[in-house]
Amino acid sequence: MQILKQAVLGLALLAAPVAVHAAPLTGSIDFGGLFQGVDGSGTNVRLADAVAVAFCANVVGNCVTGAGGAFTVDAVSTGSNMPVSVGDVGTIQDFNFAAFAGPIANFFTVGGLSFDLSAITATQFTVPPLPPGTSPTDYLLISGVGTLRAAGFDPTPGTFTFSGQTDGVNLTGTFTFSGGAAALPVPAPAGLALLGAGLLGLGLVRRKAA
């Protein structure tokens, strides 16, 4: 009778239901818009002197700043399952890159996708005038990590890169932004763990019988 109980236990482990999880987000998107570099008081300054980014509420024309900005999706990677399409218009929050205070929930949202920004690394530099007599070009490069979210999908670790530039005279510049799912190690499926436990139970039965 004891052997029978152990056998039933082993088979029960094999038949145990496996928890079903939603799929992670995959792929990447590229988008762009207008922005201005601002100092600590919120004044529009050369990008080389800026400590924060103020995004423009319009994606073309004269910059209108306020509480956050807008952008247009330019590309979606092949095979992506993100609920975003080329031409979608999204929103993005202003932020201080020199003294970043994160995380920023819903840093950008577009379509059915949102991104929580957790950490960044920023680099500023200026390219001298070429040819002489023209304006220098200021650049701001930012990379960061965070979490992508969409209904029906698991929260997915993501990365982003931001590239912005101004010419030192026209303080409104253009930016391009790429965001996507980070590459993750593939975990062992829960079903394999249960299978191993079931086989272990059956192995104990055979050893007991012997």
pLDDT tens profile 35-67 = 989 998 888 888 888 999 999 998 887 888 777
Amino acid 191: pLDDT: 44
Residue 183 binned pLDDT confidence (cut-offs 50, 70, 90): low
The residue among 194 and 125 whose pLDDT is bigger is 125
With 70 as the cut, is the pLDDT of residue 203 above it?
Answer: no
The pLDDT tens digits for 14-27 are: 344 444 567 999 99
Q: Write down the pTM of the prediction.
A: 0.73
Give Cβ neighbours of residue 151 (< 8 Å, ≥ 6 apart). Answer: 83, 112
Separation CA 58–CA 53 (nearest Å): 15
Amino acid 64: pLDDT: 80
